[in-house]
A and B are shown apart, each in its own frame.
Chain A
Amino acid sequence: MKTNEFTLFSQLYTCYYHVVAKILEETMRRPLTRCQIEDLARTYGYDESVLAVVPRLVQGDWPFLKPDKSPSGTYSSALKNLPFPQPLTRLQKSWLKSLMSDSRIRLFFTDAQLKELESFLSDTIPLFYMGDFCLFDQYKDHDPFSSAMYREHMHTIMEAVCQQRFLNISYLSQRENILTRTWLPCRLEYGQRDGKFRLYAMAFRKNGRQRIDLLNAARILSVKKTDVIFPSPVDVDSFLDHTLCTQPLVLEISTKRNALERALLHFSCYQKKVERMESSTAYHCTIYYDKRWETELLIQVLSFGPVVKVLGPESFLQLMRDRLKRQALLMADTL
């Protein structure tokens, strides 16, 4: 099969198939009532999927469930096998094959595993070639994906994240101090702009209180596994909620220079709300942002120049005024 014969929009990946598979998985373990089946359809389907999926299943249009006599009102799977895991389609294998030329793939596998994966995909053609893409404005100082030490650290970190295992980490801080502590690695974040991995790791204070630290993976000097396992998964988001801004940024966006389209696409990664003003020549965009990245947002707003104006909050407005005052001084000096 050539890549131009692939169909991306295919019934094979339909959400309803996944919903049915989840229901079958559960009904193989224990009989379910209609109500329980509806709950599963709500969890794994779209908002209205329950209306389309459940009647067809229980009425037998899709012949996968059989009504039980005892307990009555329940349904069991009519199939013999669990629906998961499923074999991969050619499209999925082709996508995997494309990843083999990405330098970051080595961060996930040992050499032996890579060899095995390569052999599995040996007769598969790649869906795309990394060389056909150019991230022309990505920062130059991305993480050293080809470094043996970096790769080893990432292997250890990923294993520990999955096992909820504490790690002893030596870390070179932004201020060039070496910190050596025990952290519980919880989550990895990747930034496409700078090509860097950041580790969200939990530190335990002496008083028992916990906090989440953010470690740059490339600044980790050494990692050692400990024998200590944390008993339950950590909800990282709940630790980050306090870093969200209390007052959102409000921008006025002009329609000049295609600013509206440019700005709304630029800020689309933030949670936002856009309102059209009565004049129809300006729009208000409210952005809910993380205070930790305020400077980055400030720089982005500055880059739009006068076609994007900050209306509030006062603290952000003050940051803009400070920059402009400093600029005015520099311009006065050069005149």
Chain B
Amino acid sequence: MSQYKELIKQFDKIRSYVRDFYIYGFKTRQDFREKSGRTYDNQRRRIESWFSDYIRTDQNGHKKSVFLTLDSSRMAVNPLYQAWKSKTFTDNDISLRFLLSDLLADGRMRSLETIADEIQEIYSCLFDTQTIRRKLAFYEKEGLMIRKKQGKQFLYTRAVPLHQSHPDLFPALILAVSFFQGIAPFGFIGSTILDFWNEKNKYFRFRNDYLIHTLEDEILLSVLNAIEQKRWIRITIKSTKSGHTDTLTVLPLKILTSTQTGRRYVCAMSKHTDRFSSFRLDSIQNASLLEHDNTYDTCMDSFQKIFPQVWGVSFGSPQTETPESVSMEIQFDEKEEAFILTRLQREGRGGSLKRLAPGLYEYSRLCTDAKELLPWVKSFTGRICAFHCSNPAVERRFWDDMHKMQAFYMAEGELNHHEDK
């Protein structure tokens, strides 16, 4: 039986656990049935250890749920980045990481044999030259060491830290990294730069930040590689609704990020249906690169043409030949509630806006799937005078939702009174 360790070998083994502890939080040991109870216990212990400041527990009878809770707007650095810093290593790995870096910090080029001798002499550590050679090759590939050929032998030195080679970039670069580690894709890499420089993000905070995205970064990198190389990929998807797993071959075109809902998608041409579809990045279990596609640019052109008609990420059903139309009339006090007009203008995503009368505006838009607009329309509850959609099911759903909400929030007498009017 292997001993418990705080560090792990593979990131994907912990990904779904961190997600469940952070997003759901109510699950107990019994809910994690895919793996053994012992695996759950180890993963829970790791998560408790990595995120100790943000872990809470809840006891319901004899069932205990452990969850991760935090206010993202108060965070200087995404705590979930800790998961990326949990890779295992050997004693040789860490020893040579520090010893080679320390020995070669003076900038002098040394041969492998000299390095081995000096490590023994200065630090009283004995390593065989093969081990040192392998490590030097690894660090050279990673950019931390520089190798030059002199005569028949290779000489090594450490790469120069940016602070020494480009001091004029500081402290501006620290500020830039502090900012982008919070908002750019693969932000955890920025946080490792701050670690390497012994710096912290002191001056930036991020509102409405969806910290969970970091867990998808391995998948994201594979998808971006496919986009760059115009290649197909095979993806395994586990539905967030049903838990059902499916494998698809798709040609990825764009990463679609919602700043409102926390969802991130890859928009792709599906080989099976020959249509554009969007797949949640957090539902993709793995992605493998396939062959190059010669028609990639044509496919991208078609996407660029149709995408302005997409409200969110849905390209509609195959039966929908023409776009659906949506219109709504919004009433507000133009003097006191000018922010409503601002909302319509800035959130309307290309829809047209018409002033019908003082304080009454009509918003209309064509879209591939009108159902996607409903959450936004409902956010104007209290001001909606009219709502029409060319898809009767969508219109029905909207009014049905309004009636259900009124039934829940308003007393029966109030409801009857308004209906009588």
> Do A and B interact?
yes
Interface residues of A (CB under 8 A from B): 1-4, 6, 8-18, 20-22, 24-25, 46-49, 52, 56, 61-64, 78-81, 83-93, 95-96, 98-99, 102, 104-105, 108-110, 112-113, 116-117, 120, 127-129, 132-141, 158, 161-162, 187-194, 198, 233, 237, 258, 261-262, 264-266, 268-276, 283, 288, 290, 299-300, 302-306, 309-310, 317, 320-334
By a CB distance below 8 angstroms, the chain B residues around A329 are 418, 421
By a CB distance below 8 angstroms, the chain A residues around B241 are 258, 261
Are the C-beta atoms of A109 and B87 separated by less than 8 Å?
A: no
Indicate whether B224 reaches chain A with its CB closer than 8 angstroms: yes
Are the C-beta atoms of A270 and B254 separated by less than 8 Å?
A: no
Instruction: Determine the residue in chain A with the shortest Cβ distance to B212.
Output: A268
Determine the distance from Cα of A266 to Cα of B262 in the docked complex, in whole angstroms: 6
Are the C-beta atoms of A113 and B207 separated by less than 8 Å?
A: no
Determine the distance from Cα of A22 to Cα of B197 in the docked complex, in whole angstroms: 11
> Among the listed A17, A192, A272, A324, which residue makes an inter-chain contact with B183, where contact means beta carbons less than 8 Å apart?
A192
Are the C-beta atoms of B6 and A290 separated by less than 8 Å?
A: no
Are the C-beta atoms of A193 and B98 separated by less than 8 Å?
A: no
Instruction: Determine the residue in chain A with the shortest Cβ distance to B342.
Output: A141
Closest approach, in angstroms, between the C-beta of A66 and any C-beta of chain B?
9
Determine the distance from Cα of A62 to Cα of B85 in the docked complex, in whole angstroms: 19
Indicate whether B381 reaches chain A with its CB closer than 8 angstroms: yes
Indicate whether B218 reaches chain A with its CB closer than 8 angstroms: yes
Are the C-beta atoms of B89 and A16 separated by less than 8 Å?
A: yes
* Chain B 76-119 interface mask (CB, 8 Å, partner A; 1/0): 00000010111111010111011101110100000000000000
> Among the listed B73, B105, B374, which residue makes an inter-chain contact with A305, where contact means beta carbons less than 8 Å apart?
B374
* Chain B 153-180 interface mask (CB, 8 Å, partner A; 1/0): 0000011111101101101110111011
Determine the distance from Cα of A300 to Cα of B229 in the docked complex, in whole angstroms: 39
Instruction: Determine the residue in chain B with the shortest Cβ distance to A264.
Output: B23
Are the C-beta atoms of B52 and A269 separated by less than 8 Å?
A: no
Are the C-beta atoms of A87 and B203 separated by less than 8 Å?
A: no
> Among the listed B98, B197, B408, which residue makes an inter-chain contact with A84, where contact means beta carbons less than 8 Å apart?
B197
Indicate whether B276 reaches chain A with its CB closer than 8 angstroms: no
By a CB distance below 8 angstroms, the chain A residues around B165 are 120
> Among the listed B85, B94, B105, B240, which residue makes an inter-chain contact with A261, where contact means beta carbons less than 8 Å apart?
B240
By a CB distance below 8 angstroms, the chain B residues around A299 are 379
Determine the distance from Cα of A18 to Cα of B192 in the docked complex, in whole angstroms: 9
Determine the distance from Cα of A16 to Cα of B52 in the docked complex, in whole angstroms: 16
Are the C-beta atoms of B217 and A270 separated by less than 8 Å?
A: no
* Chain B 199-239 interface mask (CB, 8 Å, partner A; 1/0): 00011111111111000011001101101110000000000
Instruction: Determine the residue in chain A with the shortest Cβ distance to B191.
Output: A13
> Among the listed B161, B193, B205, B402, which residue makes an inter-chain contact with A331, where contact means beta carbons less than 8 Å apart?
B402
Closest approach, in angstroms, between the C-beta of B213 and any C-beta of chain A?
10
- 8 closest A-B pairs (Cβ-Cβ)? A323-B382, A306-B404, A90-B143, A84-B198, A87-B159, A108-B176, A47-B52, A303-B375
